[in-house]
Structure 1
């Protein structure tokens, strides 16, 4: 069990790990809010701190213009990187109405079978139909460039590594084969800045 850290330390950790980053635009000219699921330390961050962080540090930067979310689900572990179903619902309910209205596309990289089933069943009850209709599954990074300009967004190296695994082991796409054969770097720690992850900015 991880020792609790203060609310200020939680916010600083979210900032340091760059779980949420607004940078670049998609091919429709919309700002991109990039979310790296693997970077989110769910065991250390409370739902209330996360909601306040989004309200104070993320949503204001989006302004009043239309935007898109780029969510990277690669290597996400349910117990390590997700706040739980009730937490997700609480976070979604706390999003201001104007932010929900301005969200026009949700690009979901490497969804996997479990994520697809969750969103197709419980997701329809947790989130409104409008959000579900904006969801676009992206099974390979190459397909992302159909929607996002290549030089506009940074993608962590481990995402490309996962793409390579999928080329040789396609059944991983459907949850029929484990991905434990490849050992990825551990999640960022408080002592290791996010820059320890190799990032690619495709030009």
Structure 2
């Protein structure tokens, strides 16, 4: 299997369209841990941008264009050096969406954000993102609150996300950054949100 094939497989795991929320809107589930940021960054000079764009245009955009949808982003176990693209990259992905897709986005459910992530977006969100996207961001601290918007069987939740959710239930101070997880350190809870070492380059998807 070539490196491009592996990256394609990883993108297929990271982006999945399945099920509908309680209002009948399609669900685009994004699992941050599966996003191949390092592979795309290392392939930037050899076509990393094209790989990502091609995948989204072939596998994601056609199923979303012209219809309302929501995004469920699962942040558990995201590592800065492996699969966190960076805030600037996230913004540029949104800005690169075709108009028909962007207009259909109704909400972005950010599952398991930490305190630093909340503070960052509260302080800089309006400056980094368009008002349209920022206003659609919804924090979901526990999976039980996600089920208020969609039924359990409508969105696939990886086992490690459920394990992380259970850990948060037993160690609630993790939500405030006062206690570290035994399993990982979340990228978006680092003091420095974007660095040249961790961020999937803005140029790659702009």
Band the TM-score falls in, shorter-chain normalisation: 0.7 to 0.9
Deviation at 1:85, TM superposition (A): 3.5
Q: Which residue of 2 aligns with 1:13?
A: 10
Q: Work out whether residues 64 and 104 of structure 2, in 8 Å CA contact, stay in contact via their aligned partners in 1.
A: no
Task: Give SS of 1:154's match.
Answer: coil
Normalization by structure 2: what TM-score? 0.78
In 2, the alpha carbon distance for the partners of 1:84 and 1:136 equals 19
Is contact 1:51–1:91 with CA below 8 Å preserved after alignment?
no
Query: 2:19 corresponds to which residue?
Result: 24
Kindly tell me: are residues 147 and 9 of structure 1, through their superposed partners in 2, closer, same or farther at Cα, counting changes over 3 Å? same
3-state SS, counterpart of residue 136 of structure 1: strand
Displacement, 1:126?
A: 2.2
Match of 1:140 in 2: 142
- Which stretch has the larger CA shift, 126-135 or 114-123? 114-123
Greater relative CO (CA pairs within 8 A, separation 6+): 2
Q: Does the C-alpha gap of structure 1 residues 182 and 9 become closer, same or farther in structure 2, counting only changes over 3 Å? A: closer
After superposition, the C-alpha distances for 1:140-179 in whole angstroms (9 at most, x for unaligned) are 1111110011221110111111122112211101112110
From 155, 158, 163, give the equivalent of 1:156: 158
How far is the alpha carbon of 1:59 from its aligned partner?
0.8
Structure 1 residue ranges without an equivalent (≥5): 184-203
Task: Give 1:50 shift.
Answer: 2.0
* Separation of aligned partners in 1, 2:55 and 2:80: 21
Mapped partners of 1:54, 1:133: distance in 2: 24
Determine the structure 1 residue equivalent to 2:101. 99
Answering whether residue 88 of structure 2 is matched by residue 86 of structure 1, we say yes
CA contact (8 A) 1:21 1:35 kept: yes
Aligned counterparts of 1:138 and 1:82: Cα–Cα separation in 2: 19
What secondary structure does 2:39 align onto?
Answer: coil
> How many Å separate the matches in 2 of 1:88 and 1:38?
15
Distance 1:97 1:54 in 2: 14
Indicate yes or no: 2:52 matched with 1:57. no
Unaligned regions of 5+ residues in structure 2, if any?
42-47, 185-206
Q: Name 1:198's counterpart in structure 2.
A: none
The equivalent of 2:130 in structure 1 is 128
| Paired residues of 2:68 and 2:106 also in contact (CA < 8 A) | yes
1:51–1:94 Cα contact (<8 Å) kept: no
Two-structure CA RMSD over aligned residues (Å)? 1.9
* Alignment-derived partner of residue 195 in structure 2: none
Secondary structure, counterpart of 1:21 in structure 2: strand
Report matched runs for 1:106-125 at 5 Å.
106-125=108-127
